Amino acid sequence: MTYLLAGDIGGTKTILRLVKYTTTDTARAEKLSLANCFEATYSSQAYPDLVPMVKTFLQQAEASLGQAYLPQRACFAIAGPVVDNCSSLTNLAWSLEGDRLQAELELQSVELINDFEAVGYGVFGLEAEDLHTLQSGDLHPQAPVAILGAGTGLGQGFALPQGQRQVVFPSEGGHADFAPRSELEFQLLRYLLDKHQISRVSVERVVSGQGIVSIYQFLRDREFASESPDIADTITQWERQTGLKTKTIDPAAVIAQAAAEGRDRLCHKAMEIFVEAYGAEAGNLALKLLPYGGLYVAGGIAAKNLPLIQAGLFMQAFGHKGRVSHLLDKVPVHIVLNPQVGLIGAAMRAAAS
């Protein structure tokens, strides 16, 4: 029996979880079992470094569980780039090195991975209730698995089976070119080029939380429909916070909620364009990988807007690929509903290290 430490580290908050790790041999393969022992959430800004936070966490775990459970290995998912097991967080004055953390926390190993890479590992630890299936497809366990997720940005990655385990590979697919598919989307592309004075538009500028706001602003400025005073006030307040590290307003969430409630035509159209672009990009990723092991749509936006995703526009755009459309009929497509999929992935990666 082994104890592991998993973490999901962001600029605003950090979640730490103590996990009991066991394996059992079955007729076919080794079966992994992870059981949560203790979990706590901390303000990242309240600590000068990860080490004192982890020590506080372990003390709280001991007080809660009645005895000390010292982890042997750890994996931390980082909201930022990780190079050579080191990371300097974008919105947090922490510089993390796996070797240093391993020594100061007296662990056998410490691995740092990008937060979306952790999501990739996490999908393999989800239960049936953690997923909503949009298309059952024809599952092939030895085929590639695709993962993408719109949130602050657009994460993309894939996994390939190696022996009895899946190995996750991150990518920068979210920075590929946005490909308009209709006259309205061509107008959106031109709007973004002019607005930001740039020479190209990445798909992330459209398929992300920021993308929702940009689509809304495009429709508003093109006078697609009248702007509601409350939405206008939200957008104005948000624009005033430009340049601040921490913003107190999430206009994308406000737009999505107004669309879901059917009380704002501008918001509803913005979300329709967003969902279609999201589905089209999921289909693009599927064409490149042919992920008959499954395509998983993670990120908070899809799960929080499930009724709109289910309405049909997402899968219509996903499968609209001309003469090769039939290839995507066999791809299993799932929406990830569990918001802690990255934390699950960090624990699974720690178990595998």
DSSP for 25-81?
E-SSSEEEEEEEEEEEEEEGGG-SSHHHHHHHHHHHHHHHHSS----SEEEEEESS-
Instruction: Specify if 232 maps to a domain.
Output: yes
| pLDDT on residue 24 | 60
Q: Which of 21-35, 145-159, 324-338 has the lowest mean pLDDT?
A: 21-35
The rounded distance, in Å, linking the Cα atoms of 190 and 317 is 21
For the chain, how many structural domains are there in total? 2
* CATH at 193: 3.40.367.20
Instruction: Specify if 146 maps to a domain.
Output: no
Q: With 80 as the cut, is the pLDDT of residue 280 above it?
A: yes
- The answer to whether residues 119 and 249 belong to one domain is no
Q: With 80 as the cut, is the pLDDT of residue 245 above it?
A: no
- The answer to whether residues 109 and 227 belong to one domain is no
Mean pLDDT of the chain: 92
- The answer to whether residues 314 and 182 belong to one domain is yes
Q: With 70 as the cut, is the pLDDT of residue 31 above it?
A: no
Instruction: Specify if 105 maps to a domain.
Output: yes
- The answer to whether residues 308 and 347 belong to one domain is no
Tell me the pLDDT tens digit for each residue of 284-343.
Answer: 999 999 999 999 999 989 999 999 999 999 999 999 999 999 999 999 999 999 999 999
What residues make up the domain containing 48? 2-126+339-352
- The answer to whether residues 348 and 254 belong to one domain is no
Instruction: Specify if 142 maps to a domain.
Output: no
* CATH at 32: 3.30.420.40
Q: Stretch 159-184: mean pLDDT, rounded?
A: 93
Instruction: Specify if 164 maps to a domain.
Output: no
- The answer to whether residues 113 and 195 belong to one domain is no
- The answer to whether residues 114 and 220 belong to one domain is no
Instruction: Specify if 166 maps to a domain.
Output: no
Q: Which of 1-15, 100-114, 123-137, 197-211 has the lowest mean pLDDT?
A: 1-15
Where is mean pLDDT largest: 64-73, 193-202, 232-241? Answer: 193-202
- The answer to whether residues 344 and 326 belong to one domain is no
